[in-house]
Amino acid sequence: MGFENGFVVLVSDRFARICGWLVLMGLFLASATAQRAELRKAPRRDLPTRIDGNSPAFWQQGKLTLFSSIGQPEMISRADDQFGPWESEIVTGSIQDHYPVWVESAWMDSDGILFAWYHHEPVGLCGDGSSLTAPEIGAAISYDGGKTLQDLGIILESGELPNCDARNGYFAGGHGDFSVVPDRDHRYFYFIFSNYGGAMDEQGVAVARMAYEDRFGPAGAVWKFRDGDWNEPGLGGHVTAVYPAKKSWDFEDADAFWGPAVHWNTYLEKYVVLLNHACCRVGWLQEGIYIGYVSDLSAPSTWGKPTKLLDGEKIGFRAGFYPQVLGLEAGETDSVSGWYARLYIQGISKWEILFSR
């Protein structure tokens, strides 16, 4: 019995030591793969013109070029860098068929052809006495660096009928307030968007994608992520929310993430998602700005839970929407940045944002 007891003690001690090493190794691996963002106060900088949404940027002919929107007219501005001085002009073209419109994402191919995607709010969906709408997402193309945009049509819309009894004050459903980024191999464009209606498992932030080669003819070529697969059509299909709402947008005090701004971070080698968070009070009050990190766009079920970056009290509960970064190095934009960037909130920057791993 003594030998057996000693053997048991020996095995138990060795097992405990192995478990301890495993725990330490797990902590080491976690720290080695973790990442965080730090905000540092900086002199105020303002983007040009009025802004009411994500403001996509791209470089052409050595100039940083930026779209800014308030519904109409769409503006385009250029400067040597994000600190200006800026030169602005009105964008023209056939996209007026879907006014009011907010261009919220853009991508320039190496041959200079520009692809842009817009948020559109149809009017009159709930009768003449209601301002409720159900946004849609459309695509456009430009062959002159964004001075004119040619409409390629609506490519993402909800299959749900508008809920004209919704009490959030703006939306009776629909898809909008989004970002578009390509994967690293340029196989797909990914649309990370807000879904404002339907069943609770669909409300919140959802994802769709389009093959890169379909960018010239996107209508009918976008597919939504639903139940682990990309099998729902962009026009009318269902979604599974990646960041689901906790309280429906049907209520005046909804609790949900919305308005994602996404960029590829070359330092972290991950995608970074900035999110608005409306929570628990009437009028879309900004409870806070949140941040999440994504390793694989093609596997939304693996995306980590966002954490708070900035409290709503510091930016104003009734303002402070549309957070996005602008990288500080040449060639960096709102969709590509390094370890060091500026954080803008509704076109105003009072912070630098520093990423670490």
> Which amino acid is it at 245?
A
Any idea which residue has 């934009």 for tokens? 333
Cis peptide, bond prior to residue 85, ω within 30 of zero? yes
Residue 74 phi, psi dihedral angles, 5° rounding:
-75, 140
Residue 97 confidence (pLDDT): 78
Among 331, 312, 320, 265, which residue's Cα sits nearest to residue 293? Answer: 265
Residue 33 confidence (pLDDT): 53
Start-to-end CA distance of the chain, whole Å, equals 53
Rounded to 5 degrees, what angle do the CA atoms 323, 325, 330 make?
A: 160
Q: pLDDT tens digit string along 193-221?
A: 999 999 999 999 999 999 999 999 999 99
DSSP 3-state of 3:
helix
CATH class of 38-356: mainly beta
Say if residues 192 and 210 touch (Cβ distance below 8 Å): no
Q: pLDDT tens digit string along 226-257?
A: 999 999 999 999 999 999 999 999 999 999 99
Which residues of the chain fall short of a pLDDT of 50?
1-32
- C-alpha dist (Å) from residue 130 to 72, 75, 163, 196, 207: 20, 28, 12, 17, 29
Within 13 Å, how many C-alpha atoms sit on residue 104's CB side?
33
Are β-strands 336-337 and 255-265 bridged in parallel, bridged antiparallel, or unpaired? Answer: parallel
Domain borders along the chain are: 1-33, 38-356
Task: Report d(CA 202, CA 174) in Å as an integer.
Answer: 11
DSSP 3-state of 106:
strand
Residue 129 confidence (pLDDT): 83
pTM: 0.90
Residue 32 confidence (pLDDT): 43
Q: And the tokens for 73?
A: 């007219």
